[in-house]
Chains A and B, each alone.
Chain A
Amino acid sequence: MNLLYFDPGLGAMIVQAVVAAAAGILLFSKNAMYKIKSFFGLVKEEDSYDSIDIDEQDTETNDKNE
């Protein structure tokens, strides 16, 4: 099933659990900080990058225009 045409690295497969745990803590604390900051009105909406999420709504409107 898995097409392993390159070596993914065993260490890399194992380390992901730790990476994910650390990332989880970081994201959780960032979210918490964000909520606190926005509660006090300290959040600046300044983001020149697209968000990580893909807009599927967009897709549907594009389809209609085609």
Chain B
Amino acid sequence: MTKTNNIHEASFRDPSGYMFHDGGTLRRVINPIYFPQYRKLTESGFYKTLINNNLLISHKETSVSEEKIVITPEKIPFIINPYEWCFEQYKQAALLTLKIQKYALSKGFILKDASAYNVTFHKGKPIFIDTLSFDFYEENTPWRAYKQFITHFLGPLVLSKYHGTDVFKMLQTHIDGIPVKLIASLLPSRSKLSSVLYTNIHLLAKMESKHSEDYNVETKITKLSKKAHNNIIDSLFNYIKKLELKEASEWGDYYTKTNYKADAFEKKKELIRQWVLSLNPQKLIDIGGNDGTFVRTVKDKVPFILVTDIDYNAVDNNYRQVKKNNEENILPFVCDILQPAPGIGFNNTERNSLIFRLKEFAPDVTLALALIHHITLSGNVPFEKSAGFFASFSKYLIIEFPTREDSWVESLLIRKREFINHFDFYNETNFEIAYSNYFDILEKQQIENSNRIMYFLKIKNA
């Protein structure tokens, strides 16, 4: 850790405690103000039930004193943030939050916040990671985190239904969720016909602006029975469970659209497996990995695999496979490599940038298949720059280079029209020269029956 103080950068909003780095281990301090809640949650078996059901990250008590209790949660290898989730992941995270809130309520507790950052993905499933998000339930009080649930979960999900999953990126500019007023204004007026959307979004937006100037908090807060509370949770759960994307059906099978033959495809798979396994890697990332087809050829040998793609549908498809096959070691997420997630929040460090997380994660090997022509020709990123990018976090790189004769490269070039000559540099030789500044070429192999060359690279001085 290079941080001067060891407190985790995202851990300052809640006075109940904070996370800190103890060497390479992330631990959580609980302040005395939260001792009563923590003890009750532990003694009543509440934590235990959630942990045993794989809903809450497990933890061990490390030390107990009068000033603080320290707990050590199970390590999560890689944190992905809400703006990197696909629709299905987002939906699952929302349902998990409601499920936990319902259970908490039945045991005399309540979720005191409903931030989407309380959830991440671990071992193929969504998991709640904020152990201190619970408080005692007081009879007849409304849910304090209700609005947060709407701005962090219901709003983005409903907007994605109408406008596509790109709206999840709005979470990058709104760290505390999309403002209710904005959600309401972006929804079509027919959404007012839904009793769930009318009350939870349109009416909420109206009430929020009506009472926004009550600086002295003079208005009386309504009472809300436990039954009414449960009704809200149940109806939100039912609604979100049924939410589907309109665009989902458009997803065709990507690999039927490949421009090379089945035997070439199999050879490519075999070669990748051979190269990857020769490294015996612990951590792998496939950038532009589509639905995870290629990493699945090595999933039995690599303990932890990240797969990113720019296409929400591909990630969605991948995540569904992870769920279906119980692939605990594959973590899919959305990423546009030409614009990876930035650091956001206070100091721009509250949620770390993707690059920061990748460097910390330090994959043993990076796969970049059928990607370089997009980076170079669609993104206009010179070879030199993309080589530097890959070299910043990967020790080994397996990269595929489609030559100018490849039909996709051809089509990308034709679209440059009169500027086509500006891209004459796109060839094998220039690629090798640029990448040799950062990497040594261990192996190079042309895939038969295709216009693709595979490179197995090792970072210099590693």
Contacts and interface: CB of A to CB of B under 8 A. Distances in A.
Interface of A: 1-6, 8-27, 30, 49-50, 52-56, 58-59, 62-63
B184 to A, nearest CB: 12
Interface in B137-173: 138, 142-148, 150
A13 B98 CA distance: 18
10 contacts: A4-B144, A6-B13, A10-B221, A11-B210, A14-B207, A15-B199, A17-B224, A20-B228, A54-B50, A58-B52
A16 B145 CA distance: 11
B50 A3 contact: no
B340 interface: no
A1 B147 CA distance: 20
Interface stretch (B230-238, B249-257, B301-309, B425-433): B230-238
A51 B281 CA distance: 38
Nearest to B210: A11
A50 B195 CA distance: 24
A7 B415 CA distance: 51
A1 B144 CA distance: 13
A10 B49 contact: no
A6 B85 CA distance: 25
Interface string B195-212: 110111001101111111
A52 B233 contact: yes
B144 A2 contact: yes
Contact of A6 (B113, B211, B219, B231): B113
Interface of B: 13-16, 33, 45, 48-50, 52-53, 55, 95, 98-99, 102-103, 112-113, 135-136, 138, 142-148, 150, 176, 180, 195-196, 198-200, 203-204, 206-212, 214, 217, 219, 221-224, 227-229, 231-238, 241
B209 A11 contact: yes
Given A17-B224, A53-B102, A59-B52, A12 B207 contact: yes
B235 to A, nearest CB: 4
Contacts of A24: 227-228, 231
Decide if the interface of chain B is mainly helix, strand, loop or mixed.
helix
Scoring A3, A5, A23, A54 by chain B CB atoms within 10 A of each residue's CB, the highest score goes to: A23
Contacts of B50: 54
Contacts of A63: 52
Given A2-B144, A19-B199, A55-B53, 16 more contacts: A8-B148, A11-B207, A11-B211, A13-B221, A17-B142, A19-B200, A22-B199, A23-B235, A24-B228, A26-B195, A27-B235, A50-B95, A50-B99, A52-B95, A54-B50, A63-B52
B80 to A, nearest CB: 21
A52 B237 contact: yes
B42 to A, nearest CB: 15
Given A11-B207, A12-B208, A26 B49 contact: no
B195 A11 contact: no
A16 B144 CA distance: 10
Contacts of A9: 147, 180, 208
Contact of A54 (B99, B180, B204): B99
